[in-house]
Amino acid sequence: MMLPPELQAAIAARLESDNGAGGSRRRSAAALSATYRAGGATQAVDSASYLVARLPATFAAVGRALEELQARRPGFSPASLLDAGSGPGTASWAVTAMWPRLGQITLLDHDPGMLSLAAALGQAGPPALAAARRLMGDIGRLPEGVSADLTIAAYALAELPLARIAEAVRGLWSASRAMLVLVEPGTPQGFARIRAARDALLGWGAVPVAPCPHDRACPVSGSDWCHFRVRLPRSRAHMHAKAATVPFEDEPFAYLIMARAGEPTGGGRIVAPPRQAKPGIDFKLCDDGRIVDRHIARRDTADYRQARKRGWGDLFVPPQHE
């Protein structure tokens, strides 16, 4: 999912008017990215550095999760959104790109500067974003009465210690009338938060939508962690801030989508890059509470043709059953 042109223009205008540039922005952007990749929390974020270094990657990761939500639940179309730990409204932009008819958005964040930035950027967006309600609040303790069809917390749980994740997720789940989406950095720490959230949500009767195709205990063990990658193009400002030489970036992320109704999807989630060799393709799958290897032989022409279209993060259903 590409950044909407209106958002790109709003960011460019904001950066042009910002005094922080050159080496200072590059250092700030590098520090910010390193903190996210290390799975740490961020405080007193420089807004210009966030717009350059983190907003595009956050938008891409959230967009990829939402694409999976739409694929698994094509009939779902939220009328309202709670963007918890909203920052400058990055996830809200991704949601409105996916569902343009979204009617009501509530942005909640503890940082008044980020809420102000969200308001400024939102003026360039669709009506729901331009008129979004902004609330000061802590993701770990939501204000009473706040709810929406879709609640999303993107790169926000890192602000809390792992011991408080279940408590925070209980509040997010209570605010979710239909669907809850969590997105975190694709690091061991980010996955630990996602896993703690999943364990708690299963205990409250939530139904996995993605990436988990089942409601059994998570089979990931040892030093492994469940995460995926999304590739995004870099703007000129992005390349300059990161001293980059290639025009794209791969963002690792972990995510979880849980619903109040329905059944798990079934099938197997591809949890590592497929291994393609002359005999065929090998997949590593999370399937019915197990991590399993699946081989599709090249000689099985029809199955192999379908398997070649599957990549890391996709849902795998045996081709003959599709």
Percent of the chain's residues with pLDDT above 90: 74
In angstroms, the CA 261 to CA 230 distance is 28
Phi, psi of 318 (to 5 degrees): -45, 125
Phi, psi of 292 (to 5 degrees): -130, 160
The candidate with the shortest Cα–Cα distance to 100, out of 126, 118, 62, 81, is 126
CB count in 10 Å sphere of residue 70: 14
In angstroms, the CA 58 to CA 91 distance is 8
Dump pLDDT digits (tens) for 154-170. Answer: 999 998 999 999 999 99
In angstroms, the CA 317 to CA 302 distance is 14
The sign of the dihedral angle between the CA atoms of 128, 2, 307, 229 is: negative
Tell me, what amino acid is at 226?
Answer: C
pLDDT (0 to 100) of residue 242? 61
Residue spans per domain, the chain: 5-259, 268-321
Choose between 296 and 318: higher pLDDT.
Answer: 296
Tokens 């990657």 belong to which residue?
A: 57
pLDDT at 217 over 90: yes
pLDDT at 23 over 90: no
Alpha helix ranges (H) inside 47-175? 47-53, 55-72, 90-98, 112-122, 127-130, 165-174
Per the CB < 8 A criterion, the answer to whether 60 and 1 are in contact is yes
Comparing 68-72, 83-87, 230-234, which segment has the lowest mean pLDDT?
230-234
Tokens 């989406």 belong to which residue?
A: 181
The candidate with the shortest Cα–Cα distance to 195, out of 153, 142, 270, 255, is 255
pLDDT at 227 over 50: yes
Following DSSP, what letter does each residue of 281-309 receive, concatenated?
Answer: EEEEEEETTEEEEEEEETTSHHHHHHHTT
Tokens 């061991």 belong to which residue?
A: 188
Alpha helix ranges (H) inside the chain? 5-17, 22-37, 47-53, 55-72, 90-98, 112-122, 127-130, 165-174, 188-203, 236-241, 301-307
pLDDT (0 to 100) of residue 322? 44
CB count in 10 Å sphere of residue 10: 21
CATH assignment of 5-259, among 3.40.50.720, 3.40.50.150, 3.40.50.2000, 3.90.1300.10 = 3.40.50.150
In angstroms, the CA 142 to CA 130 distance is 23
pLDDT (0 to 100) of residue 129? 97
* DSSP label of 164: G
pLDDT at 311 over 50: yes
